[in-house]
Amino acid sequence: MKLVHKVTALALAVASHAIAENVPIRAKNGMVVSQNDIASQVGVDVLKDGGNAIDAAVATAFALAVTHPSAGNIGGGGFLVFRPAEGEPIAFDFREMAPAKATDTMWLESGEYSYERHHLSHLSVGVPGTVAGLHMAWTEHGSLPWERLVEPAVRLATEGFEVTDGLSRSLDRTMERIGKHAATKAQFTKNGEPYAAGDILKQPDLAATLVRIAEKGVAGFYEGKTAELIEKEMMANGGLITREDLKAYRPKMRAPIRGTYRGYEILSMPPPSSGGIVLVEMLNILERYDIAGDGFGSARNMHRMAEAMRRAYSDRAQYLGDPDFNPDMPIDRLTSKAYADELSKTIRADKASKSSPESFNWPAESPETTHFSVVDSARNGVSVTYTLEYGYGSGIVVPGAGFLLNNEMGDFNGGPGLTNESGLIGTTPNLAAPHKRMLSSMTPTIVAKDGKLLMVTGSPGGRTIINTVLQTILNVVDHGMNAQAAVDAGRIHHQWLPDQIRYEHNGFSPDTLNILTWLGHDLREIGRQGVAQVIVVNHEDDMLEGGLDRRVSGGSVATY
Ligand code: DON
């Protein structure tokens, strides 16, 4: 039998296996899905108090900065996509910015690239954006008083909260890296002893910073005492961020990336995230195929997905960076149906393509970020992904200010021309420069149908984020899964280079994986991919259905 026939027969055989669906959590009035149950509840309490989805998102973000310190933050940055029930969708960009003294060679030591400088030193810290971004979203669309939204975080930092088993283990794992910073050790250990599950973690310095933010808004972080403490820490340790850099930080409102997929409207994050463009490019390619008919987990679909991912991630590396520094990015072309036509002609049904190894490669990236999704009773939808980059970021707690600084500068390319087989890229669009934003993969996304909100989705996971979000959408739109099943289903990842499909342990039939190998794909099993937080509006009875990702512990779907 020719390979193609063998493949077809087997693909049909395995495609019909059905997935048992877990039941989603349902609610009428409002829902917050986040990676921390306390923070989800803080958000829903805001909805119950008459706040809207933006209010709830702001309160959830501040609460996560206290109760989920690996990724929740005020010392990092991120993106918020908002689809109001009435009016125009908008994206808020609060990505960190390079300080004024940044250069594209700042991570070289005697001409040699230094991973330590790039990812772990004070030179890895970007000017934080979270507080300014949340404040801007609240100024534009919030309805409750700002203090009301910061207050739960103040209380959690002051009175403390119960350390979960997950947090205790996460802190224990990370302390070896970050415990060398005295303020970090003081904040996240009991005089050097690890916090155990059930202990109460209080963060008084963080509480004081949050009070300044509650009282003074943006100035409570970017000016005055907080700014002074950040500058002092930087000056004492070879960092570059000054009070001027902090004062000059500006979040931005941007037009979301828009696409369509089988008549569904896709809204996602534009540059400096690559997420929206890569997502729409992949969806445009996949729209050409009978994804629903061939079934979840079929070799045909996994092959098509991997080929779409390969092509879109190659474009990501080649073209994308901060739009304020790369005015000529071909965004319209990359997200057009005509371009997807061109690309799909290069995809063979019976054979994997090859990613060119002569081209540049990817740097390592950690999977620590956090996403949360919010929908309110008016069906305003908010999708937020924000991050410190690595888990606990740079690991540097600002002494006296009680919050962790990001290491987001590591998302810039390491230096000009630094392209090599060991995983560095040195292409121009994403080299560091003063006041530039580093390229991201975060993909907070909203799907609508017939003018109505359908789905809010997003995930952490570094470069895997875009593919995780893609698969939650295919699972709902093509495979008819509910929100929980869409989150539970196995995931794959291909990012052009390395030329490899990574698949989740126990997520797919071994027969399917064999077919993919016959097609020429290199396969690698991984433990888990991403932590998606999904809300779907069930239009049959206008109920919200939440999918919580139990790949990690600690999250919840809070409802009202
Ligand atoms: O912006 C980015 O794409 C990365 N800094 C995100 C890091 C990340 O997702 C780590 N996450 N889980």
Q: For 281-338, write each residue's pLDDT tens digit.
A: 999 999 999 999 999 999 999 999 999 999 999 898 888 889 999 999 999 999 999 9
DSSP conformation class of 446 = E
Q: Which distant-in-sequence residues (6+ apart) come within 8 Å of 124 by Cβ? A: 117, 118, 389, 394, 406, 407, 408, 409, 410
440 CA to middle of ligand 1, Å? Answer: 7
What is residue 416's predicted lDDT score, i.e. its pLDDT? 85
pLDDT above 70 for 430 = yes
In this structure, which amino acid lies at residue 307?
E
Q: Which atom, in ligand 1's list, is nearest to the CA of 274?
A: 3
Contact 402, 208 (CB under 8 A): yes
Contacts with 257 (C-beta within 8 Å, 6 or more apart), sequence order: 266, 267, 268, 269, 270, 276, 277, 279, 280, 331, 335
Confidence of residue 47 (pLDDT cuts 50, 70, 90): very high
- What are the φ/ψ torsions at residue 209 (nearest 5 degrees)? -65, -45
Tokens 């390969």 — which residue?
310
Closest approach atom of ligand 1 to CA 370: 12
- Per the annotation, the verdict on 209 as an active-site residue is no
Contact between residue 456 and residue 446 where contact means Cβ atoms under 8 Å apart: yes
Q: Are 532 and 553 in contact (CB under 8 A)?
A: no
Q: What is the DSSP pairing of strand 501-504 with strand 523-526? A: parallel
Calculate how far, in angstroms, residue 442's C-alpha sits from the geometric centre of ligand 1: 6
Of 433, 463, 478, 449, nearest to 365 by C-alpha is: 463
Range 378-404 burial, b when 16+ CB lie within 10 A, else e: ebbbbbbbbbbbbbbbbbbbbbbbbbb
Identify the sign of the CA torsion 424, 426, 427, 429. positive
Distance, CA of 471 to CA of 466 (rounded, Å): 9
Percent of the chain with pLDDT over 90: 88
pLDDT band at 149 (very low <50, low <70, confident <90, very high): very high
DSSP 8-class letter at 51: -
Q: Whose CA is nearest to atom 1 of ligand 1?
A: 440
Look at residue 560 and give its three-state secondary structure: coil
Measured CA to CA, the distance from residue 472 to residue 320 in angstroms comes to: 24
Position 19 confidence tier, pLDDT thresholds 50, 70, 90: low
Separation between Cα atoms, residue 447 and residue 424, nearest integer Å: 34
Nearest CA to ligand 1 atom 5: 389
Reply yes or no on whether the pLDDT at 514 is more than 80: yes
User: CA 325 → CA 91, 119, 328, 429, distances in Å?
Assistant: 19, 22, 9, 8
Give pLDDT, residue 12.
Answer: 43
By C-alpha distance, which of 219, 212, 203, 243 is closest to 403?
Answer: 203
Amino acid (one-letter) located at 474: L
Is the shortest distance between the CB of 129 and ligand 1 below 6 Å?
A: no
Distance of CA 473 to the CA centre of its chain: 15
CA 276 to ligand 1 center in whole angstroms = 15
Looking only at the bridges linking them, the beta strands covering 445-449 and 264-268 are: antiparallel
What is the structure's pLDDT at 10?
45
489 φ/ψ angles, rounded to the nearest 5 degrees? -60, 150
Q: Is the bond preceding 270 in cis, omega lying within 30 degrees of 0? A: no
Work out the average pLDDT over 499-528.
97
What is the 8-class DSSP label of residue 21?
A: P
Tell me which residue has its CA closest to atom 8 in ligand 1: 462
Residue 372 CA to ligand 1 centre (angstroms): 14
Catalytic residue among 60, 174, 369, 370: 369
Neighbours of 522 (CB within 10 A): 13
Residues with Cβ within 8 Å of 399's Cβ and at least 6 positions away in sequence, in order, are 182, 183, 205, 229, 232, 233
Ligand 1 pocket check for 547: Cβ under 6 Å: no
- Mind giving me the DSSP string for 31-98? EEEES-HHHHHHHHHHHHTT--HHHHHHHHHHHHHHH-TTT--SSSEEEEEEE-SSS--EEEEE--B-
Task: Give me 544's structure tokens.
Answer: 């919200």
Q: What are phi and psi of 250, to 5 degrees?
A: -135, 125
Report which ligand 1 atom has the smallest distance to the Cα of 275: 3
> In 3-state terms, what secondary structure has residue 314?
helix
Q: How confident is the model at residue 419 (pLDDT cuts 50, 70, 90)?
A: low
Q: Of the residues 441, 445, 463, which should be mutated to test ligand 1's pocket, given the most ligand atoms within 8 Å of the CB?
A: 441
Decide: 368 in ligand 1 pocket, CB within 6 A: yes
Q: Read off the pLDDT band of 22 (50, 70, 90).
A: confident
Residues 6+ apart with CB under 8 A from 392: 69, 70, 174, 177, 178, 184, 368, 404
Whether 49 shows a pLDDT value over 50: the answer reads: yes
Q: Is the CB of 37 under 6 A from ligand 1?
A: no
**CA 202 to each of CA 75, 156, 175, 199, 399: distance values in angstroms, whole numbers, following the listed order:** 18, 8, 17, 10, 15
What is the Å distance from ligand 1's center to 410 Cα? 10
Given a cut of 70, whether residue 361 has pLDDT beyond it is no
Query: Cβ(411) to ligand 1 under 6 A?
Result: yes
Protein residue whose Cα sits closest to atom 6 of ligand 1: 462
**Three-state DSSP class for residue 435:** coil
Mean pLDDT of 243-249: 98
Q: Name the residue of 119, 170, 465, 551 whose CB sits within 8 Å of the most ligand 1 atoms, as the mutation to test its pocket.
A: 465
Tens digit of pLDDT for each residue in 199-210? 999 999 999 999
Give residue 493's pLDDT: 98
The rounded distance, in Å, linking the Cα atoms of 262 and 284 is 9
Q: Which helix (H) or strand (E) holds 258?
A: strand 257-261
Q: Quick one: tokens of 541?
A: 């009875």
Residue nearest atom 9 in ligand 1 by C-alpha distance: 462
**What's the confidence (pLDDT) of residue 20?**
66
Instruction: Using the predicted structure, report yes or no on whether residue 3 has a pLDDT greater than 80.
Output: no
Residue 7: pLDDT over 60: no
Alpha-carbon distance of 548 to 474, in angstroms, equals 17
Number of the ligand 1 atom closest to the C-alpha atom of 408: 5
Lowest mean pLDDT among 23-37, 213-227, 358-372, 452-466: 358-372
pLDDT at 424: 54
Band of pLDDT at residue 368, cut at 50, 70 and 90: confident
Locate 366 and state its tokens. 């950690």
Per residue in 152-211, pLDDT (tens digit) is 999 999 999 999 999 999 999 999 999 999 999 999 999 999 999 999 999 999 999 999
Burial readout 457-490 (b: 16 or more C-beta within 10 A, e: otherwise) = bbbbbbbbbbbbbbbbbbbbbbbebbbbbbbbbb
User: How far is Cα 64 from Cα 75, in angstroms, rounded to an integer?
Assistant: 12
Query: What backbone torsions phi and psi does residue 150 show, to the nearest 5 degrees?
Result: -90, -25
- Is 441 touching ligand 1 by the criterion CB < 6 Å? yes
Q: What is the dihedral of CA 35, 38, 43, 47, to 10 degrees?
A: 130
Q: What angle do CA 421, 426, 427 make, to 5 degrees?
A: 120
